[in-house]
Amino acid sequence: MTNARYVECEVLYDGKEVGLSNRLKALNYTDNSSGVSDEIVLTFCDRDADWLRNDFVPEKEHDLDVTLWLNNWKRDGDRLCYHCGNFTLDDITYSGSPRQCMIRGVSVPAAASFQVDPVSKTWKQVTLKQIAEEMKIKYGMTDLFYWGEEPVIDTVTQSTQTDSAFLYDICEKQGMFLKIYKKALVIFDKAVYEPRGITARFTENDFDDNWEWNSTLYETYTGATISYVIPRPKKGYKKGDKQQIIEVTVGGGPRLLHINEKAENEGEAQRIAKARINAENEKAVTISFSAIGDPDIVATCNIEIYGMGRCDGKYFVNKVTHKLSGSSGYSMTVSGYRIFSRL
C-alpha cells in the first residue's frame, strides 16, 4: 500500500520554534534568479487569535527560517527537505473574519540601511567582486559567491544611491546577475549557468490548467551600438579641442539596439552592449506553467520541455513561486526563457 503524500512546514523565529509551525494556514514563497529579493508570505489562522494576547507576538526586523519537509513525495517512504531560506520579517497584518495573521519576510540583510540610506562614493581601478566584498563586510554577511570574469573597472560612481540599488545596477551593467540573501551575496554570469545539465523534464501532462508559451521579435536584437569618449590627456591639448567619441558595435544584422550610456573605454563599452542585448533577448522565447511542487526546481536551474513540438527546448528558470495551503496542497508556478546563443 502506497503512503499518501504530505508536507510539513517548520517556521523558526530567531532560530527557535515558538508555535508558528502548527498554526500555518498557507505559504507563498517566491524564488527569483536575480534583480529582485526573494519573498515569503506566511498566513496563520487561530480562532482565538492567541498571538494578540500572549507574551509572544511576531515583530518586524526579526529572523524567519522556513523549511518544508516533503513526505512520500517522489517515492514511497522518502522525506525530502526544501529550505526556503532565512528572511527578515518586514510586514505584519492582522485581519478577520476569520481571525488570521499574515507576515512577510524578504531575503535582505536585517540592516535597513542596505535598502534605504543613499550613499555617494567613487571607486577607481576596482572589480565588481571587490565592491561586493566590501558590501558583504559592511552589512555583516557571511559569504560572497562569485562565478564569472573579473574585469577591472576604471571608474565607477555611486551617486546618492542605496547600496542595494547600486549593486544591482553595476552588476547589470557588467553583464552579471545578483541574488541577495539575508547572509550572503551571489553574483553570477548566466553564461556559466546555462550550459549546466537538466534538473527536471516536463511535458504538457505535467502542467496544471495554466501554462503559456510565447515567441516574439519585439524588443529583441541582433546587435547594438554604444559610444564612449576618449579622455583628454592631462597635458598637451588646446582649449576648444573636442573630445574624441568612439562608436562600438557588437553583433550586427537588421535589429540594432542603440545604447545611450556612459562607458569609460572600449572594453567596458562592449561589456555593456553585450549585457543589454543578452538581457533583452531573454524575452525571445519564454514559458510559464503551474505544476505539482518539486523541491528540486529553483531559480537559476535548467529544465527541459519535451513532447510539445515548437515549445520543446532547454529553459533557464528565472522565477519559481512555491505555494502551500490546506485546500490545494503543495504546488509551484515556474517561469523561464529558452536558452539561446549569447553574444
Q: Tell me, what's the pLDDT at 236?
A: 63
Q: Residue 108 — pLDDT band, cuts 50, 70, 90?
A: confident
3-state secondary structure of 183: coil
Report CA torsion sign: 166, 172, 174, 179: positive
pLDDT for the residue 230: 74
Residues 151-168 have pLDDT tens digits of: 899 899 999 999 999 999
Q: State whether 31 and 76 are in the same domain.
A: yes
The DSSP line for 34-100 is SSS--EEEEEEE-TT-GGGTSS----TT-EEEEEEEEESSSSTT-EEEEEEEEEEEEEEEEETTTTE
126 has a pLDDT exceeding 90: yes
Beta 313-325 vs 302-305: how paired, if at all?
A: antiparallel
For 107-142, b/e burial (b = at least 16 CB within 10 A) is bbbbbeebbeeeeeeebeebbbbebbeebbeebebe
Total Cβ atoms within 10 A of residue 177: 22
What pLDDT is attached to residue 213? 98
Number of alpha carbons in the 13 Å side-chain half-sphere of residue 127: 10
Same domain? 18 vs 82:
yes
Query: Could you identify the residue written with the cell 512555491?
Result: 322
**Domain C-terminal end among 106, 140, 162:** 106
Weakest mean pLDDT among 128-137, 204-213, 244-253: 244-253
Which residues fall within 8 angstroms of residue 88, CB to CB, at 6 or more apart?
61, 62, 63, 64, 105, 106, 107, 108, 109, 110, 182
43 shares a domain with 173: no
Structural domain boundaries enclosing 312: 194-216+284-338
Domain assignment present for 265: yes
Do residues 272 and 250 make contact, with C-beta atoms less than 8 angstroms apart? no
Q: What is the pLDDT at residue 112?
A: 65
pLDDT value at residue 47: 59
Tally the domains of the chain: 4
d(CA 217, CA 177) in angstroms, rounded, equals: 24
285-292/256-259 β-pairing: unpaired
The answer on pLDDT for 23 being more than 70 is: yes
Higher pLDDT, 100 or 285: 285
CB 120 within 8 A of CB 160: yes
List the single range of 119-128, 196-205, 240-249, 284-293 with lowest mean pLDDT: 240-249
Pairing verdict, β 63-71 and 79-95: antiparallel
Same domain, 152 and 37: no
The reply to whether 269 and 297 lie within a common domain is no
Please report the pLDDT score of residue 99 as a whole number: 81
Is residue 242 scored above 80 in pLDDT?
no
Which is nearest to 132 in space by CA: 109, 111, 163?
163
Do 230 and 180 fall within a single domain?
A: no
Question: 198 and 228 in one domain?
Answer: no
Residue where a domain stops, chosen among 106, 137, 159: 106
CATH label of the domain that carries residue 123: 3.55.50.10
343 part of a folded domain: no
pLDDT digits (tens, 9 = 90+) for 80-90: 999 999 999 99
Closest CA to 135 of 104, 91, 169: 169
Choose the weakest-confidence range: 11-15, 46-50, 184-188, 238-242. 46-50
Instruction: Judge contact between 207 and 164, C-beta under 8 A.
Output: no
Higher pLDDT, 46 or 310: 310
**Domain presence at residue 70:** yes
In the numeric block, which cell numbers belong to residue 306? 519535451
Cα separation of 190 and 318, whole Å? 11
Average pLDDT, the chain: 90
Give the rounded distance of the alpha carbon of 260 from its chain centre.
26
Contact 297, 194 (CB under 8 A): no
pLDDT of residue 36 exceeding 60, the answer is yes
Tell me the range of 42-51, 104-113, 306-315 where mean pLDDT is highest: 306-315
Select the more confidently predicted residue: 309 or 108: 309
Question: Which DSSP letter does residue 142 get?
Answer: S
Examine residue 326 and state whether it is found in any structural domain, yes or no: yes
What's the rounded mean pLDDT across residues 118-123? 93
- Domain presence at residue 148: yes
Residues 304 and 170 in one domain: no
Residues 183 and 118 in one domain: yes
Residues 295 and 315 in one domain: yes
All three cell numbers of 28: 507563498
64 and 10 share one domain: yes
207 and 328, same domain (yes or no): yes
Instruction: Please state, in angstroms and rounded to a whole number, the distance separating the CA atoms of residues 211 and 243.
Output: 53
Residue 190 has pLDDT above 90, yes or no: yes
